[in-house]
Amino acid sequence: MFFHVFRPFRLLHRYLVDITYPQGTYIAKRYLVIRKLGSGSYGTTYLCEDIVQQKTCTVKQLRRSRQKRKKYFRMFEQEYELLKKLAHASIPASTSFFHTDDGYFFVMDFVTGENLEQHIFDTKKQYSEKEALELTIDIATVVAYLHDRRIYHGDIRIPNVMLADGHASLIDFGLAQQFSGPRGNAEQNRLEQDLFDIGDILLYLLYTTFEKTNKKALPWTEELTLSRACSHVLERLLGIQAPFPSASEAIDALEKAKEAAD
C-alpha cells in the first residue's frame, strides 16, 4: 500500500525537478540546444551546437532528480569514463565532463542518422535473410570490439542502433560495464546477454518480411522460413542451443549463414 501511495509523489517530484532545456537555450553558456534527443532512467540528452568549436554534438545531463543518488552518479560518470577509453568509428566519443548549477553533464560526438526502429517504421524497409545477417554482423562487429576490452553494453536494442548509409553505430552506454581481474559468472552472464540481444535484433529484422496468415501466435521457428544455417545461429544467440563463447565466434557463424543465404 505504501508503495502505491508513494509512487505518484515520486513521479510528481521528477516532473517538477527534471526541467529540460528548451530549444534555443544554452547549457554552460556554450552549448546551444537544437532539440532534446531523449531521456533515460538517469540521463537526458540534447543535440547541441558547440559555439566554441562550431560543431554539433550531444550533451548528456544527469537528471536533476537523480543527482543526490550516488548510484546514478556512479553510472553517469562510468558511462563517460568508458566512452572516453574507446576509439571506434561506430561508437560516439566522449570529449568533456563538467558541472554547473544545474548539475552534471558530459559531451559526446553526435551520431548522425536515425535509429533502427525509426528507420524501419519510416521506410517500411523489409530485410531479406541476407540483408538481416549483414546488418547483424555490422552490429556484432562493434560488440566484439567492446568485448575484446571486457566491456559489455547491456542494452543492445533497436532504438540504440543508429543507421547512416546502411552502416550501424551503437549508442547509449548507460548500462555498460567493464570487468577486470579473473573472469567469473557475472561477466559470462553479461556476455551472453549482449549476444542474446544481437539475436533478438536479427529476429526483429527477419520478421520485417513476415506476413501473418494464421490468427494463432506461433514460435518463430514455425512462422519464419529460414536457411538451416540462419536458424542454427539464431538458436545459439538466443540460448536455445549452446551459446557462443564469444562475439567473434558468433560473427564467424553469422558470416557462414550469410554465405548460405546467397
Cα–Cα nearest to 168, from 125, 138, 128 = 138
Q: What integer pLDDT is reported at residue 10 of this predicted model?
A: 53
Q: Which three cell numbers stand for residue 196?
A: 542474446
CATH classification code of 2-109: 3.30.200.20
* Contacts (Cβ under 8 Å, ≥6 apart) of 226: 129, 206, 234
pLDDT band, very low/low/confident/very high, at 217 (cuts 50, 70, 90): confident
Contact call for residues 247 and 143 (beta carbons, < 8 A): yes
Average pLDDT over every residue of 3-15: 50
Q: What integer pLDDT is reported at residue 39 of this predicted model?
A: 82
Q: Which residue has the higher pLDDT, 204 or 13?
A: 204
d(CA 32, CA 78): 25
Percent of the chain at pLDDT > 70 equals: 92
What is the residue type of 122?
A: D
Contact call for residues 199 and 234 (beta carbons, < 8 A): yes
Q: Which residue has the higher pLDDT, 50 or 9?
A: 50
Partners of 100 in the beta sheet?
A: 103
Specify whether 138 is catalytic. no
pLDDT tens profile 14-24: 545 667 899 99
Q: Which three cell numbers stand for residue 98?
A: 563538467
**Domain positions in the chain:** 2-109, 114-261
d(CA 64, CA 44): 10
Q: Answer whether residue 214 shows pLDDT above 50.
A: yes
Q: What integer pLDDT is reported at residue 208 of this predicted model?
A: 96
* pTM of the predicted model as reported, rounded to 2 decimal places: 0.88
Would the CATH topology of 2-109 be identical to that of 114-261? Answer: no
CATH architecture of 114-261: Orthogonal Bundle (1.10)
Q: CA 252 → CA 111, 166, 248, distances in Å?
A: 27, 21, 6
d(CA 125, CA 159): 16
Q: Answer whether residue 6 shows pLDDT above 90.
A: no
Mean pLDDT over each residue of the chain, to the nearest integer:
90
Which of 102, 109, 155, 262 is an active site residue?
155
Q: What integer pLDDT is reported at residue 37 of this predicted model?
A: 92
Q: Which residue has the higher pLDDT, 107 or 68?
A: 107
d(CA 259, CA 147): 25
